[in-house]
Structures are given as structure tokens and as C-alpha cells.
């Protein structure tokens, strides 16, 4: 039977998901349960409620590798001109690791640069399968402390850190992406611990994603509780101290 993937969206002309102009393929499904998640319809635990969303944000499709590639390759001239390519994102890409790896193999066969944004929460075998097929790893790093990670994201980070160490040992180019979340990881000591962790992992570049409320309405539409209801958004100007901690550690650090 032909391999298929559950795809949430395909976004063209992405400029924040790796170098150059890219097409970002969003995978449906996520085993984490981040309390601030802006895409709760991606989470496995809310799969039934996702149907209640009233707009086209829930554009789930079951697609073959060839079908996805047909859309991705439409913009090949832009990738070639800009140094761009294809980025896989989620949800959690590693939940469909076979399909993700097959997609990246097909892209590389056409000379398309491949990147994947992932939490790294998967078995070492699944992680390795994807790692071998990508040129750039965009790794979501939420917290260095296993208990705090579990409290915020529903799972602890031991598996994630093991996979990250494997990526570092393989010298895979990596960019860390940190969602900066009030009441979870926005304190200076959180930034210091994260900076230490990333330095140990030989990561040199960090993107900070300040907390926003773009997902708030989805919780209302889906009728599920939202722990961050009414919490103020963060802005880069609120987080100068936070960024400075990474800069002082010698890391390149920008806001997305």
C-alpha cells in the first residue's frame, strides 16, 4: 500500500522556517500537550474537538509523497534563487517519521534543501530516520528541567535531550527555537539554563518566539479549557533581558 501522510496545511513562501524562500508542510498530530499551544487542533488529545473549528484552519488531507512533492516543486525556481527549500513542521513531524523521511528523500532527489521543525519527542530510531534525510534541524526546545517540561508540555524531556545529543554527535546543523512562555520559562534562570544546555549541545543559533494569543479563539470554538486564557502576550521589547543572556553566552540569538 502506498505510504500516505496526514497533512494539516502546505504553506508557500515561508521565510521564517529555514534559509531562503521555503514551502512549509505542516503535519497533523502531536503527542505533546503544551498548555499554551496555539494550534490545539494539532494535539492528539483534541482530535475529536478539532472538527468544531469553523474555518479552513483545519485543512487536513491524507496525501501521498508524490502529491505533496507536486505542490512543493511548483516553487523550485524560488528555492534555487533564494537558497530555500522545503521545511516539515507540525504538530509533530516525528509522529509520522516514515512519511517525513520519504518526503525528504524525494525532495533531496530533486535537489531541494530539506529542514524539519520538531520537538524531538520520539524514539531514537524514528528520530534517526528523519535526521538522516534532513539538511537542517529546527529543534523546539522548551525547558531544560524534566519536571518543568512535563508540567508545561505534558511529557518530560529525557527522550528529547537524548535525541538532541545524537544530532549534535552527528554534527547536524541545528537551530534551536524557544517559545518564551510566561509562568513556564520566561525567567532569567530559565534562559540561563537553556543557554547552558544549548552550548553543551554545540548549538550556535537560537530563535526566540515570544508568547502570543493567536490560538485563543480556537479553544473557545473547540470547547476545551485554555490555561493561558487572558494572559498578556510578550513582545521582543519585553524580552531584551532574556535575549541578552543568550548573547552573553556567545550564542547568536534573534526573535521570530
Instruction: List residues binding ligand SF4 (CB under 6 A).
Output: 30, 32-34, 37, 39, 42-43, 90-92, 119, 153
Distance CA(146)–CA(117), nearest Å, equals 21
Q: From the CB of 154, what's the least distance to ligand SF4, in Å?
A: 7
- Toward ligand SF4, which CB reaches closer, 32 or 197? 32
- Toward ligand SF4, which CB reaches closer, 9 or 39? 39
Q: From the CB of 243, what's the least distance to ligand SF4, in Å?
A: 21
Q: What is the DSSP secondary-structure string of the chain?
A: ---EEEEEEEEEEESSSSSSSEEEEEEP-BS---TT-S-GGGBGGGTTGGGG--STT---EEEEHHHHHHHHHTTHHHHHHHT-EEEEESS-GGGGHHHHHHHHHHHHHTT-EEEEEE---S-HHHHHHHHTT-SEEEEE---SSHHHHHHHHSS-SHHHHHHHHHHHHTT--EEEEEEE-TTTT-SHHHHHHHHHHHHHTT--EEEEEE---TTHHHHHHHT---TTTTPPP--GGGGHHHHHHHHHTT-EEEE-
- Toward ligand SF4, which CB reaches closer, 33 or 166? 33
Q: From the CB of 29, what's the least distance to ligand SF4, in Å?
A: 9
Residues 6+ apart with CB under 8 A from 10: 23, 24, 25, 26, 68, 71, 72
- Toward ligand SF4, which CB reaches closer, 10 or 33? 33
Phi, psi of 196 (to 5 degrees): -65, -45
- Toward ligand SF4, which CB reaches closer, 18 or 120? 120
- Toward ligand SF4, which CB reaches closer, 99 or 121? 121
Q: From the CB of 171, what's the least distance to ligand SF4, in Å?
A: 25
Q: From the CB of 155, what's the least distance to ligand SF4, in Å?
A: 9
- Toward ligand SF4, which CB reaches closer, 91 or 113? 91
Q: From the CB of 183, what's the least distance to ligand SF4, in Å?
A: 15
Q: From the CB of 219, what's the least distance to ligand SF4, in Å?
A: 12
Amino acid at each position: 500500500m502506498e505510504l500516505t501522510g496526514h497533512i494539516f496545511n502546505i504553506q508557500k513562501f515561508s521565510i521564517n522556517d529555514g534559509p531562503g524562500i521555503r514551502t512549509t508542510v505542516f503535519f497533523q498530530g502531536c503527542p505533546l500537550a503544551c498548555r499554551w499551544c496555539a494550534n490545539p487542533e494539532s494535539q492528539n488529545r483534541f482530535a475529536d474537538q478539532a472538527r468544531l473549528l469553523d474555518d479552513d484552519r483545519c485543512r487536513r488531507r491524507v496525501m501521498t509523497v508524490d502529491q505533496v512533492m507536486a505542490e512543493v516543486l511548483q516553487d523550485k525556481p524560488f528555492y534555487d534563487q533564494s537558497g530555500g527549500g522545503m521545511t516539515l513542521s507540525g504538530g509533530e513531524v516525528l509522529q509520522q517519521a516514515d512519511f517525513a523521511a520519504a518526503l525528504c528523500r524525494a525532495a533531496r532527489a530533486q535537489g531541494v534543501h530539506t529542514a524539519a521543525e520538531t520537538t524531538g519527542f520520539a524514539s531514537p530510531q524514528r528520530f534517526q530516520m528523519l535526521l538522516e534525510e534532513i539538511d537542517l534541524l529546527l529543534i523546539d526546545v522548551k525547558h531544560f528541567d524534566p519536571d518543568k517540561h512535563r508540567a508545561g508540555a505534558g511529557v518530560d524531556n529525557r527522550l528529547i535531550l537524548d535525541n538532541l545529543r545524537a544530532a549534535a554527535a552527528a554534527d547536524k546543523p541545528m537551530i534551536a527555537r524557544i517559545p518564551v512562555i510566561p509562568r513556564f520559562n520566561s525567567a532569567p534562570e530559565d534562559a540561563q539554563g537553556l543557554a547552558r544546555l544549548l552550548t553543551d549541545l554545540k548549538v550556535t543559533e537560537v530563535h526566540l518566539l515570544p508568547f502570543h494569543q493567536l490560538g485563543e479563539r480556537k479553544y473557545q470554538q473547540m470547547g476545551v479549557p485554555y490555561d493561558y486564557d487572558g494572559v498578556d502576550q510578550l513582545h521582543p521589547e519585553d524580552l531584551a533581558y532574556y535575549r541578552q543572556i543568550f548573547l552573553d553566552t556567545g550564542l547568536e540569538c534573534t526573535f521570530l
